[in-house]
Chains A and B, each alone.
Chain A
Amino acid sequence: MSRAALPFALLALSSACHDQASGGAGARAQIKAVGSSTVYPFTTIVAEQYLANNPGARPPVIESTGTGAGMRLFCAGIGAAHPDIVNASRRMKRSEFETCAKNGVRDILEVQVGIDGVAFAEAKAGPKMALTPADIYRALAAAPGGKANTARTWRDVNPSLPATPIQVYGPPATSGTRDALAELILARGCIDSDPTAKQLEESDTDAFKARCQRVREDGAYIDAGENDNLIVQKLTANPDALGIFGYSYLEENAGSVTGVPIAGVAPSSATIASGEYPGARPLFIYVKKAHLKAVPGLGRFVQQYTALWGASGPLARRGLIPAPSVVQAQAAAIVKRETPLREAALK
């Protein structure tokens, strides 16, 4: 055994030293992306396409860490040890930009890849409703304020609304649009109507979800399956009902349905792009300009994103809401000209 043990130990030592020397600081062959779990599935599809279209390229490494943690990793510095791309389901904060700048990450490309969001709509002949997140929460949550939901008409929810029955056609529980409904509208309405829910969110996530994000199942919310076109048809047949679907459908069916303003903001490509409309959040990737030359293929990877985010592209098929064409053109121009993000644009 003496003859066997010694080489084992030596091999272990030498391999450890070797890898430390080559892997830590020097160049890196693969693209590295971290960040939001919402953007993660889209970036994985882009990675696959990139690999299929660029034979011989090294596989990109995509990690789902959440936007905040991703930003921390991204802004930790320039060089092979730090990721090239961060996926974000919200815009970069000014404080994060400053951290980046402090660590030498100066030029960052901000590319909006699409939208994650939900639009409320009614038929053209509808009662022209105007809702707030709190109204929607009280009308659609399973247990608003911890008690079972007994609201039958919109007037039960808010005396200034018409006395039409609450009938809302929406996506099934497995849908990403439903997640956006729960996270963007219901959670906000819950906190608006009961500020103590804010503490609950931090102390007990499960209780917060049960109270704020569960949708009622007694018939007022009608599960219309994954078929958004069907919801549009139901709305034209029943002008009293509301529908919930991805914003792109609202845009395509602008002839038969109109968006319901939420908190005074009507859904439009401008209000969604600016983030004013509460039902939508833009999805971004942030790319380090300094890495575009250093990491082989990074430029082509980002170009691949721009090629896939169209309305009939594979990303839309997996549930990405394409950004309005103006925003897409802007983002593509940023990629092409490598225009860095200015700090003044951030909050």
Chain B
Amino acid sequence: MRRRIARRYAAERRFRWLGLGAIVLSAAFLFFLIITMVMQGAAGFLETRVQLPIDFRAAELNVTPEQLRGDRGDLALAGAGLEGVVDAAAGAAFPTAGGAELLSDGAWLRVRNAVKANPALLRQQVVIDVPVNSDVDMAFKRAGTPAAERIVSAMGDRLSSGLNHDFFGGADSSDPTRVGIWGALKGSLLTMLVTLLIAFPVGVLSALYLEEYAPRNRWTDLIEVSINNLAAVPSIIFGLLGLAVFLNTFGLPRSAPIVGGLTLALMTMPVIVIAGRNAIKAVPPSIRDAALGVGASPVQVVFHHVLPLALPGILTGTIIGMARALGETAPLLMIGMRAFIAAPPEGLTDPATVLPVQIFLWSDEVARGFVEKTSAAIIVLLVFLLAMNGLAIYLRNRFETRW
């Protein structure tokens, strides 16, 4: 008897330990992911700069400060051969460190922006901080090729590290020192906006109709089974659907956030419908009866009582669906959102990529500098995800009612 009791206690303890072990294991994986990402990615937010002395008086750019106002300024500077001036200045300043090769491909753009911001520079001799090439950047931050390490030790304190503003404001590039995440982030924002605007109202209205109005018969059973199956369909199928329907039939533009949003909305909707129906089902019938009893119309019952009470549950479903949509790559590859685009999108129909696709594209690049940029992009994606979920949880708690 006592032995059996001991065995039962032992089984109880084993079960508790197993459960705890499972949690510790998943927490360990999560920590491992976050720590490796932060370790590798943190450097991705930084850039290495070198002090480049330029004597604009000697350079004889045939452009006057007056021409630099407004949009025509970029054109005037591009036509005046500023890139050549920057390369020559680098050649003169760093003859042993590779000259113009030392600088990033985007270095002259930094000079252009500096000149545009302050046209008076054109009459002066100035020192401008410009980014260095990827090899030297890697060597300065951690460890690079022997040649780059030699350049770093030779340059000494002329190299400095700083926050890479271009990373937060730019878009894709073929040079790891020039890439930015804003293009993909904005693409993700626009896509998620379209997804939310379509999937949320349609999903909630479907759930309401099925739960509150639809008669119970073979047809509604069929619809219910279809929706449940749709929620489990692999996402690539939705990509093919989007390709066939939105691009080939409706002729919407390829690679555009509107098409991405519509495709992901198709994927997210069933999740919202299922969560919404469960949440609506959980609203006590007594509340409906009471509302009807005091003379409310069915629409008033739904919108004044059922929906507000079911909203926290619906929002939970929406969070899950949107989080899945945010991390989705496969369907977007099908509709062309994997293109190289060197500037952020300006509207819903502009070509764009999204964060997960950008991460996928960068991880595929050969240049070593892209490793830290990939990790940095993953950090941005995780922060975006946390922000989105945080907002949804805040909304859910605000609407939460207890009875």
Contacts and interface: CB of A to CB of B under 8 A. Distances in A.
A204 interface: no
Contacts of A51: 342-343
A5 interface: yes
B204 A41 contact: no
A48 B198 CA distance: 35
A24 B250 contact: yes
A30 interface: yes
Interface in A60-84: 60-64, 80-81
B78 A61 contact: no
B304 interface: yes
B151 interface: no
Interface stretch (A15-23, A104-112, A184-192, A238-246): A15-23
B256 A23 contact: yes
A24 B253 contact: yes
A314 B101 CA distance: 11
Interface in A23-76: 23-25, 28, 30, 32, 40-41, 43-45, 47-48, 51-56, 58-64
Contact of A314 (B105, B336, B338): B105
Contacts of A8: 197, 200-201
A: contact size bracket: 35 or more
A2 interface: yes
A11 interface: yes
Interface in B244-269: 250-256, 258, 262
A60 B255 CA distance: 12
Nearest to B175: A48
A53 B82 CA distance: 10
Nearest to B171: A59
Given A51-B342, A61-B340, A19 B258 contact: yes
B159 to A, nearest CB: 23
B173 interface: yes
Contact of A5 (B108, B204, B336, B351): B204
Nearest to B336: A63
A22 B349 contact: yes
Given A41-B174, A55-B74, A64-B338, A20 B201 contact: no
A55 B71 contact: yes
Contacts of A54: 75, 78
Contacts of B340: 40, 43-44, 47, 61-64
Interface in B308-347: 308, 311, 336, 338-343
B253 A16 contact: no
B197 A12 contact: yes
Interface string A151-170: 00000000000000000000
A344 interface: no
Contacts of A237: none
B252 A23 contact: yes
B81 to A, nearest CB: 11
Contact of B252 (A20, A44, A53): A20
A196 interface: no
B284 to A, nearest CB: 18
B128 interface: no
A9 B253 CA distance: 22
B61 interface: no
Q: Which of A44, A45, A53, A318 has the most CB of B within 10 A?
A: A44
B78 A52 contact: yes
Contacts of B343: 51, 58-59
A81 B256 CA distance: 12
Contacts of A15: 194, 197, 258, 348
A55 B174 contact: no
6 contacts: A5-B204, A20-B251, A23-B253, A24-B252, A47-B342, A48-B174
Interface of A: 1-2, 5, 8-9, 11-12, 15-16, 19-20, 22-25, 28, 30, 32, 40-41, 43-45, 47-48, 51-56, 58-64, 80-81, 174, 314, 318
Given A1-B308, A19-B348, A55-B78, 19 more contacts: A5-B303, A12-B197, A19-B258, A19-B349, A20-B252, A23-B253, A23-B256, A23-B258, A44-B342, A52-B108, A54-B78, A56-B71, A56-B74, A59-B343, A62-B339, A62-B340, A63-B338, A63-B340, A174-B366
